Amino acid sequence: MKFEWIVTEQEILLKTFLRQQGVSKKLLAKIKFQGGTLLVNGVERTVRHFVQVHDVVTVIIPDEGEHETMLPYASILDIVYEDDHILVVNKPSGVASIPAQYHPNGTMANRVKYYYNQQNYVNRIIHVVTRLDRDTTGLMLFAKHGFAHAMLDKQLQDGRLKKHYMALVSGRIETLEKMAMIDLPIGRDMTSLIKRQVIATGQRALTEYQLVQRTEQVALVDVQLHTGRTHQIRVHFSALGCPLLGDNMYDGNCDLGITRQALHCRRLVFDHPFTKEKIEIQQPLPTDMARLIN
């Protein structure tokens, strides 16, 4: 895969210039030892070469191949957005994001692997940028190669990649504010291998929400994560006394027609790692949540 930039600074070390473009030390090593190439104005150079203003820098990254242990799983992906660097899919309920020891196949990663195989892509390593819990629906972001993954992961870490969710909650919904930030630390619940809880010794967790609609039994909230703790939205709303509908792990109401946690990733906002264009992708509510709201 080839990437190209034009130098805008006077006399700068090629290594420094590439770092400014997001090329990591690890990626430079891959280019050096696995068949990649660095060119300046079409001439092969090393990272110790000094480039000048208006020079054209070309980086050719070797193909990644594939994970031999990642099994393809035949299915039809609901693709929301795709280009040479990014894939965004709409994840259904009941499907895990990545394989685990006792569930090596059938996950979204396995399904994307099958799609890559069908398209005969040269890069078939699965780069998951944003994961969702098994029963959470909505937008899931994949990078189609390691360079894009590193760039998007940096945005995720510094908060420029924003994830917005819609959730249906019940319980003490009369106490919900029109807009608020939940700032409660989350850690492991020692009675479970999976469950989390609000606990003073946990990691700081920030969840911003806006009340969209409220009836006597149910509230619809628009949620934005500012940290990425396991089960963060589910734990935080349970701690408020307003657990998600269908979420039996965190005492959610399972008697209103929804039997999985009523949580949907509806919106992703990020900068395209290479064009720098602002990308905003939205996905409507799934049938079970929409039916209850309507």
Residue 133 is a catalytic residue: yes
Where is 91: in which H helix or E strand?
A: strand 86-91
CA distance 88 to 80: 6
Catalytic choice (55, 78, 83, 133): 133
CA dihedral 276, 268, 206, 132 (to 10 degrees): -130
- Per DSSP, the residues of 118-158 read HHT-SB---EESS---TT-EEEEEEESSHHHHHHHHHHHHT
8 A C-beta contact, residue 285 and residue 293: yes
| Backbone φ, ψ for residue 5 (5° rounding) | -135, 155
Where is 88: in which H helix or E strand?
A: strand 86-91
CA distance 142 to 149: 8
- Terminal CA-to-CA distance of the chain, rounded, Å? 47
134 is written with which tokens?
Answer: 């098994």
Q: How far is CA 287 from CA 9, 79, 242, 291, in A?
A: 53, 18, 22, 6
1 is written with which tokens?
Answer: 């895969």
CA 126 and chain centroid, separation: 13
CA 224 and chain centroid, separation: 13
225 is written with which tokens?
Answer: 């994560």
| Backbone φ, ψ for residue 57 (5° rounding) | -100, 125
Residues acting as catalytic residues: 133
